[in-house]
Amino acid sequence: MQHAETSTESSHEGHGHEMPVGGLAVADRGFSLSVVEAPAAAGVPGQLGFRIEDAVGRPVRSFAKAHERELHLIVVRTDGEHFQHVHPVLDRATGWWSLPWQWSAAGAYRVFVDFAPGEGANDAGSVVLSRLVQVPGMLEPGLDRAPSSTSRAGGFDVTVTGDLLVGGSGPLTITVEREGSAVRSLEPYLGAFGHLVALREGDLGYLHVHPEGSEPSAGDLSGPDVVFHAQAPTAGRYWLFFDFQVDGAVHTARFALDARRSERS
């Protein structure tokens, strides 16, 4: 299963089989993201909050569940550091989404909201909107972003194999091991055995993919492999963030892959 959202805004022009990139607009398909309220500096505890508004500025209060939640919030610094995939709570009386929040470091962050409008909305499908939030302070440089197909996450060794393609869909297989042994105890997390978010280096153009196969039931286990079918909107480097759950704990593995053109494009 895969969905890739498009937006009306992109810093890369499409050529040939390139697709519009998603997640770079504050408004799309009749919905908009309000100003994001958050702590004013790193290290200060507080709340992060926002509203989804309709075409005339009214707060949206009805959402359809997708992957067991009505809205997925993804926050990452523009250099690929400090990635978080979390789930705020909706006050239906006001349409205000919020959760406790503390910035861990200064910098510019892109805040993505991924949701599906509920009953009575237009047939928009899944919508991804975003805003940039500036957190003042001394910026500490991030990690090297050279291509990497291996990651260490929570005591697990995670590897991605396959090609990220432009102009064609190719399989990406993510394998989870621990101390040299295959991990076969991947648990369902948000209706899947793993979630993969790919962000294009530079502007953080957004591609959200999910593994192939049917939705698992409670108590099902899988592993060590999770297979995705993804298509990159343009050539370039992408940062991949893979969320998986073992023994009730969620871990995030991070990779960097260069997308190449499919031979069919």
Q: Hey, what CATH topology would domain 150-261 get?
A: Immunoglobulin-like (2.60.40)
Let me know how many helices (H) and strands (E) the chain has, helices first. Answer: 0, 21
pLDDT digits (tens, 9 = 90+) for 47-73: 999 999 999 999 999 999 888 899 999
How many alpha carbons lie under 13 Å from residue 51 in its C-beta half-sphere? 15
Q: Do domains 2-135 and 150-261 have the same CATH topology?
A: yes
Other CB atoms within 10 A of residue 84 CB = 14
Domain boundaries, the chain: 2-135, 150-261
The total number of residues written for the chain in this structure: 265
Bond before 224 cis per omega within 30 degrees = yes
What is the rounded distance in angstroms from the CA atom of residue 232 to the CA atom of residue 4?
A: 9
pTM exceeds 0.95 = no
Cα 88 to Cα 50, 68, 74, 97, 247: the distances in Å are 10, 13, 10, 6, 23
Share of the chain above pLDDT 70, in %: 87
Share of the chain above pLDDT 90, in %: 68
Q: Which two tokens stand for residue 253?
A: 């593995």
Q: Which CATH architecture has domain 2-135?
A: Sandwich (2.60)
Average pLDDT value for residue range 110-133: 83
